[in-house]
Structure 1
Amino acid sequence: MTLLSLSNMQTRIDQYAVLHDVTLDVPEGGVFVLLGRNGAGKTTTLRSIMGLWKPSPGSVKFRGQDITGMHTADIARLGIALVPENMGIFGGLTVQENLVLATTTGRFDADRLDRVQTLFPALKTFWTKQAWSLSGGQKQMLAVARAIIEPRALILIDEPTKGLAPSIVDAMADAFAEIAQTTTILLVEQNFEFAKSLGRDMAVIDDGRVVHRGTMAEFAADADLQGRLIGISA
């Protein structure tokens, strides 16, 4: 079943056309990976889905509902969350306060909070610490935790492993695999080893256009295709 559908989506930033007729279907369940070289349009795609930039022409549909042009807050209320590349956390607030702000009521569901703290034990350890004092990996954990502190149908995650130590990347992979059991993840990632360990379906975007779509297993097995589309050499 298709959860998210992008149809002929075009996005301009100032006078520059960044996306050109992006058409893509993201199925419900698991991890869908969007790959591409730097500057290909991956982040713009996520921001356009979230309503931070307005595609025109083209459309974005979520569970069959046209959300093109909706305000970001209204899109979030439908069950979509964005974890941006800059993490989007509040450094002057504690871990607890960051998570409270990500709820709609200002209160935690006890089971949900327990799940988040089980996935990311460091957040429980540093519960009362200000977010600026966390390590890079811990900040990324907090950013993801904010996205899942309430039930979501879809999480858009932009470059979560950038600059992280290998041990933290491994822990993040385990957490994402667990999250994907109940929530669809649309993942933008440059770390191909991380991406292929998680992805079920994938697409490659280049120069603002989708140039390949298929399963991750097929793409991971084709070294020539990887080299041509994302610059990975055998």
Structure 2
Amino acid sequence: MTLLSLTNMQTNIGEYAVLHDISLTVPEGGVFVLLGRNGAGKTTTLRSIMGMWRPSPGSVMFRGQDITALHTADIARLGIAFVPENMGIFGGLTVEENLVLATAKGKFDRDRLNRIYRLFPALEKFWTKQAWSLSGGQKQMLSVARAIIEPRDLILIDEPTKGLAPAIVDAMAEAFREISDTTTILLVEQNFEFAKSLGRDMAVIDDGRIAHAGSMADFVADRALQDRLLSLSV
């Protein structure tokens, strides 16, 4: 079943056209990976879905509803969360306070909080610490935890492994596998090893256009296509 679809989406930033006629279908369930070189338009795609940048022309449909013209807050209320590349946490607030801000009613569902503790034990350990004092990996955990503290249908995650130690990357992969059992993840990622270990479906953006879309298994099996679209041999 289709969860999210982008149709003929073009996004301009100032006088520059960053996305050109993007059409993409994200099925419900699992991890959909968006790949591409630096500057290809991956982050712009996520921000356009969230209403941070307004695509025109084109449309964004979520569960059959046109959300193209909605404000970001209204899109979030429909069950879409966004984990930006810069993590977007509040450094002067504690781990607890950051998570409280992400709840709908200012209080936690105990089962969901226990799930976060299980996925990211460091957050329970540093519950009362200010977020600025956390390591880079712990900050990323907090950013993801904020996205799942309330029930979500879709989480957009931008470059979650950037700058993280291999052990933290492995822990993040395990967490994403569990999260994707109940919530669809649209993942932008440069680390191809991480991406291919998680992705069921994928697409490659090149110069603001979809250059390829299909199953991750087929893409992994085609080394020539990987080299052409992502320059992995380099």
**1:58 alignment partner in structure 2:** 58
Counterparts of 2:166 and 2:112, CA distance in 1:
27
AA aligned opposite 1:86: N
| Deviation of the 1:46 alpha carbon | 0.1
Deviating beyond 3 angstroms after TM superposition, the runs of 4 or more aligned structure 1 residues are: none
- Among all aligned residue pairs of Structure 1 and Structure 2, give the percentage whose two residues are the same amino acid: 81
Counterparts of 2:60 and 2:225, CA distance in 1:
28
Matched position secondary structure for 1:40: coil
Taking the TM superposition and a 5 Å limit, the aligned residue runs for 1:1-234 are 1-233=1-233
| Deviation of the 1:168 alpha carbon | 0.2
Counterparts of 2:178 and 2:231, CA distance in 1:
30
| Deviation of the 1:65 alpha carbon | 0.1
| Deviation of the 1:228 alpha carbon | 0.3
RMSD after superposition:
0.6
| Deviation of the 1:69 alpha carbon | 1.5
Counterparts of 2:191 and 2:85, CA distance in 1:
14
Q: What TM-score, normalized to structure 1?
A: 0.99
AA aligned opposite 2:174: D
Counterparts of 2:225 and 2:61, CA distance in 1:
30
| Deviation of the 1:196 alpha carbon | 0.2
Counterparts of 1:70 and 1:15, CA distance in 2:
23
AA aligned opposite 2:217: A
Counterparts of 2:183 and 2:229, CA distance in 1:
28
Counterparts of 2:213 and 2:14, CA distance in 1:
29
| Deviation of the 1:104 alpha carbon | 1.0
AA aligned opposite 2:148: I
Q: 1:24-75 deviations in whole A, cap 9, x for unaligned?
A: 0000000000000000000000000000000000000000000001000000
AA aligned opposite 1:23: S
Q: What TM-score, normalized to structure 2?
A: 0.99
Counterparts of 1:221 and 1:138, CA distance in 2:
34
Counterparts of 1:19 and 1:70, CA distance in 2:
19
Matched position secondary structure for 2:40: coil
Matched position secondary structure for 2:105: coil
Counterparts of 1:150 and 1:112, CA distance in 2:
8
Matched position secondary structure for 1:21: strand
How many correspondences in the alignment?
Answer: 234
Counterparts of 2:226 and 2:32, CA distance in 1:
17
| Deviation of the 1:210 alpha carbon | 0.3
Counterparts of 1:191 and 1:74, CA distance in 2:
31
AA aligned opposite 2:164: L
Q: 1:139-159 deviations in whole A, cap 9, x for unaligned?
A: 000000000000000000000
